Amino acid sequence: MNAHPAHPAHPVSPRLIFDRAPLRVYWELTRACDLACRHCRAEAVKHRSSGELSTAEGLHLLERLHAFGERQPHVVLTGGDPLKRPDLWVLIAAARGLGLPVALAPSATGLLGPEEILRFREFGVEAISLSLDGSTPARHDAFRGIAGTFERTLAAARAAQEAGLPFQINTLVAEETLDDLPAIYLLANELGAARWSLGSRRSRDRVAVWSSPPPKPRTSAV
């Protein structure tokens, strides 16, 4: 006879049970991206692939996610660069129309300007994430492979702050960035980031941390 109880003495919060619906769904819309990041986990390429979901298939996927019911998963649209998909706005509008929370991980290229940031907000995107792997143009652009990416990232962060769109800063933890992390932290805080997310080359996991002493609390982002 099993001496262990069938249920734990202290029931787990329903928010931590994922047998009915995932908490988040990360959808890599495309591998296409105009950057050439040295550590890209999506193995991005210049042009879109014929293997991507079509608009109709994407809309069907969103409907299936909506079918989870009361506990709607958060949909994080990533890539590649989501802005390389002409139907991005159709997909965002459809997701929001279904009541699905949406966040976005755009690339800091010429496709991302103040107009796009404002439009994200108007379409109901809850937050965006921006990558920052150096506290100076030389250090950051060396990772991204394209000159000017550092300034575009800062411009996007400031536009998001002005639009009232929460944003997360993603930073790679590696030998090349280790000594620069304190300066990146200060820059992320100065920009008004809602969260600083650290990750490694070998893991897709992201751990959000603020070193001590932490800044004043802000709305959570991606």
Domains of the chain with bracketed CATH:
22-36+55-208 (3.20.20.70)
State pLDDT tens for residues 104-158. 999 999 999 999 999 999 999 999 999 999 999 999 998 888 899 999 999 999 9
> Which has more pLDDT, 160 or 47?
160
Residue 76: what are its φ and ψ, rounded to 5°?
-110, 115
pLDDT at 163 (0 to 100): 97
- 201 vs 66, 98, 173, 174, 189, CA distance in Å? 32, 35, 8, 8, 24
Task: Say if residue 3's pLDDT is above 50.
Answer: no
- CB contact at 8 A, 107 and 78: no
Residue 211: what are its φ and ψ, rounded to 5°?
-70, 160
pLDDT at 34 (0 to 100): 87
Using alpha carbons only, what angle is made at residue 58 by residues 144 and 198, rounded to the nearest 5 degrees?
Answer: 35
pTM of the model: 0.80
Average pLDDT of 206-218?
Answer: 38
Least confident of 90-99, 178-187, 197-206: 197-206
Give the H/E segment covering residue 44: none
